[in-house]
Amino acid sequence: MYNNMMLVNCSNCRTPLQLPQGAESIRCALCQAVTLVADPRALHSAPSSHAPTPPAPSPYNHAPPGPPPNAHGRKKAVICGISYKYSRHELKGCINDAKCMKYLLMNKFKFPEDSIVMLTEEETHPAKIPNKYNIRMALHWLVQGCQPGDSLLFHYSGHGSRQRDYHGDEVDGFDETLCPLDFETQGMILDDEINAAIVKPIPHGVKLHAIIDSCHSGTVLDLPFLCRMDRSGKYVWEDHRPRSGKWKGTSGGEVISISGCDDDQTSADTSALSKITSTGAMTFCFIQAIEQGHAATYGSILTSMRNTIRSTGSGGGGPGSAVSSLLGGGSGAVTSLVGMLLTGGSVGSGGLRQEPQLTACEPFDVYAKPFAL
């Protein structure tokens, strides 16, 4: 049936849109602009010499690479790690984060390798370089065709930022953003777009987790509720629904995001935790909590992550008290293969000042709800 669908770029924001056969116009779900197509058959004609060259077809439009997963109860993931190598924005630990997350998903949570899309600068396929277009297409692939029972995951390790909100739907007046590899020329990916791409489409019975290791990432999925937890573990759910009444939740499914820090904080790219190589502090603590058995509930995993970050610089972290299994030993769920991936690096200094955050489409009891991917 996919032969009857074509891609056209939104006339306003240039987002690729699927044009059904015979349609003469299509409305963009992101910016609401209507793109007119006088004759869809003209898409097959030779482009005008004045027309911009369309982007190369993406493998994420309709199907994942490799054989399709099972029809029901599928597990799919998009993992994005960006190092910004050879630029003034270079990060040391993000590709390590991506590799470790993939290994954890495959070995601990039984995600099929064919259902994990990796976006890093080390990938050889041009459609898997983590630029803005490829990240958009990968997110589209992640949620496309999801069915009840599916478990989806988006992991991002890279730069994040924020910019002033001009639509009046942010409590703090700022949109949070992710920074693709080409953000300096193509722009950042706003939380509004992320919400429209992977939150709103989630139907009843489908579960999506986002693990976001970047600066200013607290509400980067624009989910309606944030778990505000103090140091004693007491919490309240903050209402982040826009004053305009615009719905930022799902289409009946469940979305939960664990992020590296609050919206006004930064996330560390550091060797202070592993003592072996650079990693994102949040990704490291997330995997450590799981490997050390502190991930029974969402409350316990969030508490474990925060405690590890707070202890850094005062005797915490390091082999034996960090992700020993991840870095070559321990429980065996994650073996020395990842230890071989992570080589080099320097011992960093402590003093991390970030607090991982939990946001969700609906409030729940964080100490009663079991954590499961």
Instruction: Give the residue from 112, 93, 92 showing the smallest Cα distance to 102.
Output: 112
Q: Identify whether 209 is a catalytic site residue.
A: no
Contacts of residue 219, defined as CB under 8 A and 6 or more positions apart, other chains included, come to 176, 191, 226, 240, 259, 263, 357, 359
In one-letter notation, the amino acid at residue 362 is: E
Q: Is 159 a catalytic residue?
A: yes
Catalytic residue among 155, 159, 240, 294: 159
Q: Which residues of 293-310 are buried (b: 16+ CB within 10 A; e: fewer)?
A: ebbebbbbbbbbbbebbe
- The Cα-based distances of 149 to 39, 112, 202, 288 in angstroms read 39, 15, 12, 27
Going by DSSP bridges, is the β-strand pair 160-164/174-178 parallel, antiparallel, or unpaired?
antiparallel
Catalytic residue among 215, 227, 261, 361: 215
Contact 91, 82 (CB under 8 A): yes
* Token pair belonging to 290: 């799981």
> CA–CA distance from 225 to each of 32, 53, 314, 315 (Å)?
25, 42, 33, 34
Nearest alpha-carbon partner for 10 in 36, 45, 48: 36
- Using DSSP's 3-state secondary structure scheme, residue 288 falls into helix
Q: Catalytic positions, please? A: 159, 215
